[in-house]
Amino acid sequence: MAKDYQCPACKSPVDPAATVCSNPVCRAELAFCSSCRDVTTYTLTVPASGRFKRDQYKCALCQNVGVKCLTWLSGGYCNGLARSSGRAFDQPFCASCNGRLGEVGRNVLGWSIVGAVGGLFKRPGK
């Protein structure tokens, strides 16, 4: 059974991939926290200060610090906060994007092996 997510500000039901609450009165900015695995509001705690640093945000529910996922920053359809260690190179992707990247990597590896084995059994003369 799937979990029903709510906006922490107004308690109305929201999609887990929403970046803004759908309630016209609320319109709070939302993110999916990789630490508590829930839809949350967030506040900016540390602005980016270098070329390879990203803004750090604090989850309103679990109070853990995170950074916006690289998929989100590059314009992709993601609203995840990746875990932040406070060092120069934080986690690049949120938990859901990490799962999707692992799945794509397994598919590429699997089809590469199938192609290599298929090339070994190719009929001579063709």
Question: Per-10-residue mean pLDDT for the chain, 126 residues long?
Answer: 81 88 89 88 86 84 87 84 72 83 92 89 70
Question: Is 90 within a domain?
Answer: yes
**Residue 52 belongs to some domain of the structure:** yes
pLDDT score recorded for residue 53: 78
Q: Residue 43 falls within a domain, yes or no? A: yes
* 6 falls within a domain: no
Asked whether the whole model's pTM tops 0.85, one would answer no
The domain total for the chain is 1
Query: Is residue 20 included in any domain, yes or no?
Result: no
Does residue 85 sit within a domain? yes
Residue numbers of the domain that contains 81: 31-120
Domain assignment present for residue 26? The answer is no
Cα–Cα distance measured from residue 19 to residue 92, given in angstroms and rounded to the nearest whole number:
19
In a domain, 67, yes or no: yes
Chain centroid, CA 107 distance in Å: 20
Task: State the pLDDT at residue 108.
Answer: 94
